[in-house]
């Protein structure tokens, strides 16, 4: 197996509940994340392990739709999302840690959000050659996309925190 991995971190001036809401409210993703143009939820119920959706993003100037699913989920702390295309698997791990001053009720007004992305492709001579040529380009584009997502998540979480401070605190 050949892998490409990157890890990014952002401190957000909002509680973990607000950040979690932005991460897991799939219906609002197109309004909150500038890279997402549409989301089609495929499973009923709340965001949980097994939740599936189709997400369309603009990537390399073209619309690309991926089917995604929640592989692991620990509300307000961690969620793992996977997608697959051909013999490539994408895994995105989002981790939240309360990072700011804690109030009398044990809530923090700052969250450390980390995203770890891994793309894994089956090992074959053709895939190894493609990864050596296209892998760095794809990883740079993915980094830019995730950095923009982190900016958008931070903006939406701060706004949610300002509008509903008690509900958006952790």
pLDDT in tens, 100-109: 776 766 677 8
For residue 36, list its beta bridge partners: 57
Structure tokens at 156: 């939406």
Output the domain CATH number for residue 110.
3.30.530.20
Residue 133 tokens read as: 């040529």
User: What DSSP state is assigned to residue 61?
Assistant: T
Q: Where are the alpha helices (DSSP H) in the chain?
A: 16-24, 29-32, 125-163, 165-168
- In total, how many domains does the chain have? 1
Mean pLDDT over residues 77-104, rounded?
Answer: 88
DSSP H or E segment with residue 126: helix 125-163
Can you tell me whether residue 58 is helix, strand or coil?
Answer: strand
Strand, coil or helix: what is 122? coil
Mean pLDDT lowest among 52-56, 85-89, 150-154 = 85-89
Domain interval for residue 134:
2-168
pLDDT of 130: 59
- pLDDT tens for 18-61 read 999 999 999 999 999 999 999 999 999 999 999 999 999 987 77
Positive or negative CA dihedral for 8, 63, 36, 46? negative
- How large is the angle between the packed helices 125-163 and 16-24, nearest 10 degrees? 130
pLDDT of 87 reads: 79
Mean pLDDT of 107-122: 88
């Amino acid at each position: 197996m050949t892998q490409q991995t990157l890890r990014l971190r952002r401190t957000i001036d909002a509680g973990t509940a607000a950040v979690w809401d932005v991460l897991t409210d799939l219906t609002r993703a197109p309004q909150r994340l500038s890279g997402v143009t549409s989301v089609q939820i495929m499973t009923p119920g709340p965001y949980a392990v097994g939740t599936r959706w189709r997400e369309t993003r603009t990537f390399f100037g073209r619309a690309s739709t991926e089917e995604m699913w929640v592989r692991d989920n620990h509300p307000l702390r961690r969620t793992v999302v996977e997608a697959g295309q051909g013999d490539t698997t994408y895994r995105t791990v989002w981790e939240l840690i309360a990072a700011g001053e804690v109030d009398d009720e044990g809530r923090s007004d700052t969250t450390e959000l980390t995203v770890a992305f891994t793309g894994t492709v089956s090992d074959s001579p053709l895939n190894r050659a493609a990864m050596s040529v296209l892998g760095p380009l794809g990883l740079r584009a993915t980094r830019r996309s995730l950095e923009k997502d982190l900016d958008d998540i931070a903006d939406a979480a701060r706004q949610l925190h300002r509008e509903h401070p008690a509900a958006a605190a952790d």
